[in-house]
Amino acid sequence: MSTDTIISIRNLYKVFGNDPQKAMALVHQGMGKDELLERTGHVIGLNNVNLDMERHRIQVVMGLSGSGKSTLIRHINRLIAPTEGEILVDGQDVLTLNTEKLRELRRFKISMVFQRFALFPHRNIMENVGYGLENQGKTKKIIEETAARWIGRVGLSGFESHYPGQLSGGMQQRVGLARALATDADILLMDEAFSALDPLIRTEMQDILLDLQNELQKTIVFITHDLDEALHIGDSIAILRAGEIIQTDDPQNILMKPADAYVADFMKDINRARVLRVRAIMNTLEPGDEGPVIKGSTTIEEALQIFAETAGDKLIITDRKGLKVGRLTVEDLIRGIRRPTTAEIQAEVFTNET
């Protein structure tokens, strides 16, 4: 565990059914999800999941419906107990917490944003946002001041005395976000929080979240089945399939080096020019290299635009500190857009295994 890991999930298994322990023996012998279900009626929710999440980062967990995303995130605040394995939050094993400590964890350290908003229909917006603060035992004055501040922060000032039913879906989810942020918890769990929203509103919410995150530096566990969303907001993306993590990596690496054909297939419709950053494909700077200087975070699409507008045959890439670290030609950019072939992915998998 690196020093800035805040959530650590180790050898986590969750089996649903009458006798999970007995079914576990078969899972340890290597029986897969389909066979276990057929033979024993038990469902593998999670299968040996290992995942370290970094403090102040957005960890996306992505997978198709039924892959185990909700099961995984609910282990973090122990809404679900594992069949086997450990969940450490700030070094503390959540399974060892007594009722009192667990309540504290959920009130002060972790808050949650739900897909269907889960607002209280008979409480107005102010009272909804203040809910967590009430639970924390804050005074009325503090609750109102804090709630009003967060309502303002998500752009809903003036709606304090409205009721959830009077608000659009996007506005309700802003309330959900404000409620989660108001408690000042370090960790935010978001289970498909934007999935019920229309595409435009959804993108807007993603940007609101990224804006807030720039300022607040929370640790966010963000679940989605949407790849564009995952690539847009994730600092790291874990890909789940049938309860197993197939790959955990930063978005650039997932595109450049998919762990297997399944991941590559997932990525195949992505507009690589728009998502890939030049730092992921640049070559080492050579003496005498000259040309327009661009940041490593520039996308391939933007870099091509710069080539189109300038005369040179090279771009110079800088790192976060502004140091010149790499170079790119038009050919490099075009190569970056090309998807890895099946043979390349297999070769990569092979070298990883040996």
Ligand X SMILES: Nc1ncnc2c1ncn2[C@@H]1O[C@H](COP(=O)(O)OP(=O)(O)O)[C@@H](O)[C@H]1O
- How many C-beta neighbours within 10 Å does residue 98 have? 8
Q: How far is the CB of 192 from Mg ion (least distance, A)?
A: 6
Q: Rule CB under 6 A: is residue 67 a binding residue for ligand X?
A: yes
70 binds ligand X (CB under 6 A): yes
Taking the chain, what is the end-to-end CA distance rounded to the nearest angstrom?
Answer: 24
Q: What is d(CA 18, CA 51) in angstroms, rounded to the nearest whole number?
A: 27
Among candidates 61, 62, 178, 79, which has minimal Cα distance to 119? Answer: 178
83 scored as a contact of ligand X (CB under 6 A): no
- How many C-beta atoms lie closer than 10 Å to residue 67's C-beta? 22
CB of 38 to ligand X, least distance (A): 13
Instruction: Name which of Mg ion, ligand X, none residue 68 binds, using a CB cut-off of 5 to 8 Å depending on partner kind.
Output: ligand X
Q: Tell me: does residue 45 bind ligand X (CB under 6 A).
A: yes
User: Closest CB to Mg ion among 57 and 69?
Assistant: 69
User: In the window 61-120, what residues touch Mg ion (CB under 5 A)?
Assistant: 69-70
Q: How far is the CB of 15 from ligand X (least distance, A)?
A: 9
Residue 286 CA from chain centroid, whole number: 37
Compute how many residues bind ligand X; rule: CB under 6 A: 11
Q: Which does 8 bind (CB under 5 to 8 A by kind): ligand X, Mg ion, none?
A: none
Going by C-beta distance under 8 Å and a sequence separation of 6 or more, which residues neighbour residue 187? 6, 7, 76, 89, 109, 110, 111, 218, 219, 220, 221
> Is residue 251 close enough to count as binding ligand X by CB under 6 A?
no
Is residue 65 near ligand X by the rule CB under 6 A?
A: yes
Given its phi and psi angles, is residue 90 left (phi above 0), alpha (psi -120 to 50 degrees) or beta?
left
**How many beta carbons lie within 10 A of that of residue 288, not counting itself?**
5
One of 5, 10, 16, 169 touching ligand X (CB under 6 A): 16
* By CB under 6 A, residue 176 contacts ligand X: no
Decide if residue 69 touches ligand X (CB under 6 A).
Answer: yes
Q: Are 190 and 213 in contact (CB under 8 A)?
A: no
Total residues interacting with Mg ion, rule: CB under 5 A = 2
Which of ligand X, Mg ion, none is residue 257 near (CB under 5 to 8 Å by kind)? none
206 binds Mg ion (CB under 5 A): no
Contact between 326 and ligand X by CB under 6 A: the answer reads: no
Closest approach of ligand X to the CB of residue 75, in Å: 10
Closest approach, Cβ 73 to ligand X, in A, equals 8
Look-up of token digits 């435009």: 200
Cβ-based nearer residue to Mg ion, 80 or 275: 80
Kindly report the backbone phi and psi dihedral angles of residue 350, in degrees, each rounded to the nearest multiple of 5, phi listed first: -60, -50
Interface with ligand X, residue 59, by CB under 6 A: no
Q: How far is CA 93 from CA 107, 210, 251, 332, in A?
A: 17, 29, 29, 47
Nearest CA among 52, 50, 59, 53 for reference residue 10: 50
Phi-psi region at 184: left, alpha or beta (left = phi > 0; alpha = psi -120 to 50)? left
- Candidates 61-69, 98-106, 249-257, 294-302; binding stretch for ligand X (CB under 6 A): 61-69
Residues near Mg ion, by CB under 5 A: 69-70
- Binding footprint of ligand X on the chain (CB under 6 A): 16, 43, 45, 63, 65-71
